[in-house]
Chains A and B, each alone.
Chain A
Amino acid sequence: MCTVCGCSEGETTIEGAAHSHSHDHEHPHDHSHDHSHDHEHHHHDDKTHDYGQGPAHAHAPGLSQSRMVQIEQDILGKNNRYANENRSYFAEHAILALNLVSSPGSGKTTLLTKTLTDLKDTLPLSVIEGDQQTANDADRIRETGVKALQINTGKGCHLDAHMVGHAMEPLAPEDKSVLFIENVGNLVCPAAFDLGEAHKVAILSVTEGEDKPLKYPDMFFAADLMILNKIDLLPYLNFDVEKCMAYARRVNPSIKIIQVSATTGEGMDTWYQWIQATHQIAMIGYQPKLAAVDADAKAA
């Protein structure tokens, strides 16, 4: 990874990115300094003013070489800058980007394939699949006929804005389309990383604990919509839907909640209605010319 994602130094792979993203910027880990700090031997040249050492190579008392530097910088600043670039790109092209987050096994990919199958004739769609390894999910998506791009994060536990930005070129989502970004299954880390999406959608299945919104409050706070999946299994479980929804609202009073079963199709219409409505909002202010000029500029 080039920027924020340290978990996966050089391990991220983006399908179809021909230049396999080799990191040629400096990573100073290679040249091993042999640890001789504390007793510095300063090389004096006429450009160096070294106040730390007295004439007899003793540190002058009260005169330290140290100084304080105020930076006041956001640790996620770089990611947020990439996220903003993605956000302007999406806005310019009227692309509705949805960041789907959940724990592993919530039925995210099944929900997504069902959604794609049902919506692909009415809306232009594309998918970015984030997983640590394998392209299995992207393959599952492509079987629906919708274009998909796999990003493998290697050891990384989340997608970041830079990966998503790089995925735009090979994936080339159409103007006025919906882009689903299926994040790595993890309810912790993806909460902190803005990808430039319009909304985070948290998917929770009723086979998980109803108190998950309280256990992972950051994610449910960051999400605008919660999809409660696998509701066809409710008769066989001790899952208190009302309690779960109350917990989610406790963490995030404005969260919207939709109950669905991707297997039986129950509730899916409400989810599609939400997608259509937010898609309409994404298209407000769309100027086809602006996007075309931008494309020409890139081609030139």
Chain B
Amino acid sequence: MHEMSLCEGVLTVLEDSAKQQGFKKVKKVWLEIGVLSGVEHEAMLFSYDVVVKGSVADGSTLEIIELPAQAWCMQCMNEVEITGRGEPCPSCDSYQLQISSGDELRIKELEVE
């Protein structure tokens, strides 16, 4: 359940930007989460509501944009898309993959007022 900590991290960023950019209320938050980041979306959504209670983001909605993972397959000499660590190349079944993306944990943008 480190999703709770991640939501705390999100809230810290929201509160900091509220101060810097002078908004009073956050209505919607878009997160970009890679499929390899080890984050359970349901847990994230659940924790978010709990964590933002009484804050600048109270009542706001969380949108999760799932980002795919890319890897370089040494056998195919090609960029392939994978869905998890420890999974083979979808075209040649080799495990010799160099993962290049998919562990993103980013706050993309906010709707505020």
In chain A, positions 6-33 with a C-beta closer than 8 Å to chain B are 6-7, 28-33
Q: What CA separation (Å) do A221 and B98 show in the bound complex?
A: 11
In chain A, positions 161-201 with a C-beta closer than 8 Å to chain B are 188-189, 191-193
* Contact flag A158-B86 (CB < 8 Å), given A29-B53, A69-B17, A75-B13: no
Q: Are B27 and A66 in contact (CB under 8 A)?
A: yes
Q: Does A247 contact B (CB under 8 A)?
A: yes
Q: Are A37 and B59 in contact (CB under 8 A)?
A: yes
Q: What CA separation (Å) do A77 and B105 show in the bound complex?
A: 9
Q: What CA separation (Å) do A149 and B1 show in the bound complex?
A: 25
Interface size class of B (residues with CB under 8 A): 35 or more
Q: Does A233 contact B (CB under 8 A)?
A: no
User: Among the listed A35, A68, A72, which residue makes an inter-chain contact with B107, where contact means beta carbons less than 8 Å apart?
Assistant: A72
1/0 per residue, CB under 8 A from A, across B1-43: the answer is: 1101111111111000100010101010001000011100000
Query: Which of chain B's residues have a CB closer than 8 A to the CB of A32?
Result: 54
User: Among the listed B2, B53, B59, B111, which residue makes an inter-chain contact with A189, where contact means beta carbons less than 8 Å apart?
Assistant: B2
Q: Are A6 and B5 in contact (CB under 8 A)?
A: yes
* Tally of A interface residues using CB under 8 Å: 50
User: Among the listed A3, A71, A78, A188, which residue makes an inter-chain contact with B110, where contact means beta carbons less than 8 Å apart?
Assistant: A71
* Contact flag A5-B86 (CB < 8 Å), given A66-B27, A76-B105, A253-B95: no
Query: Which of chain A's residues have a CB closer than 8 A to the CB of B13?
Result: 71, 73, 75, 77-78
List residues of B whose CB falls within 8 A of some A CB.
1-2, 4-13, 17, 21, 23, 25, 27, 31, 36-38, 47, 51, 53-56, 58-59, 84-86, 95-96, 105-113
Q: Are B109 and A70 in contact (CB under 8 A)?
A: yes
Which stretch, A98-106, A120-128, A210-218, A278-286, touches the partner chain B? A210-218
Q: Does A65 contact B (CB under 8 A)?
A: yes
Q: Are B86 and A29 in contact (CB under 8 A)?
A: no
Q: Does A52 contact B (CB under 8 A)?
A: yes
Query: Which of chain A's residues have a CB closer than 8 A to the CB of B110?
Result: 68-69, 71
Q: Are B106 and A73 in contact (CB under 8 A)?
A: yes
Q: List 20 A-B pairs, Cβ < 8 Å.
A: A5-B8, A6-B6, A6-B47, A7-B2, A29-B53, A35-B59, A37-B59, A64-B113, A65-B113, A66-B27, A66-B112, A69-B23, A72-B106, A75-B105, A77-B13, A157-B1, A158-B5, A191-B38, A247-B86, A251-B86
Q: What CA separation (Å) do A247 and B84 show in the bound complex?
A: 14
